[in-house]
Amino acid sequence: MEFLVNLDVDDLERAIDFYVTAFGLEVGRRLGDAAVELLGGPAPLYLLAKRADTPAWKNAEQHRHYGRHWTPLHLDFVVDDIDTAVETAVSAGAEQEQPVATHEWGRLALMADPFGHGFCFVQFLGRGYDEIATS
Protein backbone atom coordinates (compact mmCIF):
# COMPACT_ATOMS: atom_id res chain seq x y z
CA MET A 1 0.00 0.00 0.00
CA GLU A 2 1.19 3.49 -0.79
CA PHE A 3 0.09 6.74 0.83
CA LEU A 4 -0.38 10.00 -1.02
CA VAL A 5 -0.74 13.26 0.88
CA ASN A 6 -2.99 15.97 -0.59
CA LEU A 7 -3.17 19.57 0.62
CA ASP A 8 -5.63 22.17 -0.63
CA VAL A 9 -4.04 25.58 -1.18
CA ASP A 10 -5.37 28.82 -2.59
CA ASP A 11 -2.14 29.86 -4.33
CA LEU A 12 -0.34 27.00 -6.04
CA GLU A 13 2.90 28.81 -6.88
CA ARG A 14 3.21 30.25 -3.37
CA ALA A 15 2.59 26.77 -1.93
CA ILE A 16 5.25 25.22 -4.17
CA ASP A 17 7.73 27.85 -3.03
CA PHE A 18 6.88 27.27 0.64
CA TYR A 19 7.04 23.46 0.61
CA VAL A 20 10.20 23.34 -1.51
CA THR A 21 11.95 25.92 0.69
CA ALA A 22 10.69 24.76 4.09
CA PHE A 23 11.05 20.99 3.60
CA GLY A 24 13.56 20.55 0.79
CA LEU A 25 11.01 18.86 -1.47
CA GLU A 26 11.31 18.90 -5.26
CA VAL A 27 8.67 19.46 -7.90
CA GLY A 28 7.83 16.19 -9.61
CA ARG A 29 4.98 16.39 -12.09
CA ARG A 30 2.56 19.17 -12.81
CA LEU A 31 -0.89 17.68 -13.19
CA GLY A 32 -2.65 20.29 -15.28
CA ASP A 33 -3.04 23.81 -13.96
CA ALA A 34 -4.43 22.86 -10.57
CA ALA A 35 -2.09 20.27 -9.04
CA VAL A 36 1.61 19.72 -8.45
CA GLU A 37 3.41 16.66 -7.14
CA LEU A 38 6.23 17.27 -4.67
CA LEU A 39 8.81 14.54 -4.08
CA GLY A 40 11.59 13.93 -1.60
CA GLY A 41 9.66 12.79 1.47
CA PRO A 42 8.44 9.34 2.42
CA ALA A 43 5.20 9.91 0.47
CA PRO A 44 4.42 12.17 -2.47
CA LEU A 45 2.80 15.45 -1.48
CA TYR A 46 0.20 16.83 -3.88
CA LEU A 47 -0.70 20.50 -3.73
CA LEU A 48 -4.22 21.04 -5.05
CA ALA A 49 -5.33 24.52 -6.06
CA LYS A 50 -8.78 25.15 -4.57
CA ARG A 51 -10.25 28.62 -4.32
CA ALA A 52 -11.21 29.97 -0.92
CA ASP A 53 -14.96 30.06 -0.22
CA THR A 54 -15.66 27.01 -2.41
CA PRO A 55 -17.56 24.09 -0.85
CA ALA A 56 -15.30 21.49 0.73
CA TRP A 57 -17.52 18.76 -0.81
CA LYS A 58 -20.75 18.59 -2.78
CA ASN A 59 -23.58 20.34 -0.91
CA ALA A 60 -21.26 21.19 1.98
CA GLU A 61 -22.24 24.01 4.28
CA GLN A 62 -18.60 24.40 5.20
CA HIS A 63 -16.45 26.26 2.67
CA ARG A 64 -12.71 26.28 2.30
CA HIS A 65 -10.74 28.96 4.05
CA TYR A 66 -7.03 29.35 4.41
CA GLY A 67 -6.80 31.11 7.75
CA ARG A 68 -5.53 28.90 10.56
CA HIS A 69 -8.00 26.08 11.02
CA TRP A 70 -8.25 22.86 12.98
CA THR A 71 -8.52 19.47 11.40
CA PRO A 72 -8.25 16.07 13.05
CA LEU A 73 -5.42 15.15 10.67
CA HIS A 74 -2.03 16.79 10.44
CA LEU A 75 1.46 15.95 9.24
CA ASP A 76 4.48 15.34 11.48
CA PHE A 77 7.89 15.82 9.92
CA VAL A 78 10.66 13.89 11.70
CA VAL A 79 13.89 15.89 11.68
CA ASP A 80 17.39 15.52 13.06
CA ASP A 81 17.68 19.17 14.16
CA ILE A 82 14.39 20.71 15.24
CA ASP A 83 15.80 24.20 15.82
CA THR A 84 17.13 24.42 12.26
CA ALA A 85 13.90 22.97 10.84
CA VAL A 86 11.79 25.54 12.71
CA GLU A 87 14.06 28.39 11.61
CA THR A 88 13.95 27.28 7.96
CA ALA A 89 10.17 26.85 7.97
CA VAL A 90 9.55 30.22 9.65
CA SER A 91 11.87 31.89 7.11
CA ALA A 92 9.76 30.31 4.35
CA GLY A 93 6.51 31.64 5.84
CA ALA A 94 5.42 29.15 8.52
CA GLU A 95 4.24 30.23 11.94
CA GLN A 96 5.66 28.67 15.09
CA GLU A 97 2.62 28.38 17.36
CA GLN A 98 4.36 27.41 20.61
CA PRO A 99 7.95 27.17 21.84
CA VAL A 100 9.67 23.85 21.17
CA ALA A 101 8.71 21.44 23.97
CA THR A 102 10.92 18.64 25.24
CA HIS A 103 9.34 15.35 26.26
CA GLU A 104 10.73 12.04 27.45
CA TRP A 105 10.59 10.72 23.88
CA GLY A 106 11.84 13.82 22.04
CA ARG A 107 11.26 17.43 21.08
CA LEU A 108 8.11 18.82 19.44
CA ALA A 109 7.38 22.05 17.57
CA LEU A 110 3.77 22.99 16.74
CA MET A 111 3.63 24.90 13.48
CA ALA A 112 1.23 26.19 10.80
CA ASP A 113 1.89 26.64 7.10
CA PRO A 114 0.84 29.83 5.24
CA PHE A 115 -2.40 28.09 4.16
CA GLY A 116 -3.75 27.43 7.66
CA HIS A 117 -2.70 23.77 7.90
CA GLY A 118 -1.14 22.70 11.18
CA PHE A 119 1.93 20.48 11.21
CA CYS A 120 4.61 19.45 13.68
CA PHE A 121 8.31 18.91 13.68
CA VAL A 122 9.42 15.93 15.77
CA GLN A 123 13.01 15.27 16.82
CA PHE A 124 13.28 11.92 18.56
CA LEU A 125 15.61 11.58 21.55
CA GLY A 126 16.96 8.38 23.06
CA ARG A 127 14.73 5.52 21.95
CA GLY A 128 12.00 7.87 20.66
CA TYR A 129 8.47 6.66 21.32
CA ASP A 130 9.90 3.44 22.80
CA GLU A 131 10.80 5.58 25.85
CA ILE A 132 7.08 5.70 26.72
CA ALA A 133 5.65 2.63 24.95
CA THR A 134 3.70 0.30 27.23
CA SER A 135 3.43 -2.68 24.92
pLDDT above 90 for 54: no
Q: What is the pLDDT of residue 56?
A: 82
Q: Give yes or no for residue 41 having a pLDDT over 90.
A: yes
For the chain, the average pLDDT equals: 95
Looking at 25-29, 51-55, 109-113, which range is the least confident one?
51-55
Q: Is the pLDDT of residue 55 over 90?
A: no
> What does the alpha-carbon distance between residue 64 and residue 55 come to, in Å, rounded to a whole number?
6
- Among residues 59, 60, 74, the alpha carbon closest in space to that of 122 is found at 74
Model pTM above 0.85 = yes
1-52: what fold?
A: 2,3-Dihydroxybiphenyl 1,2-Dioxygenase; domain 1 (3.10.180)
Q: Give the residue range(s) of CATH 3.10.180.10 domains in the chain.
A: 1-52, 67-135
In CATH terms, the fold of domain 67-135 is 2,3-Dihydroxybiphenyl 1,2-Dioxygenase; domain 1 (3.10.180)
The amino acid present at 25, given as its one-letter code, is L
* Per-residue pLDDT tens over the stretch 76-104: 999 999 999 999 999 999 999 999 999 99
The beta strand positions in 1-132, using DSSP E, are: 5-9, 26-30, 35-39, 45-49, 75-78, 95-96, 101-102, 106-112, 118-124
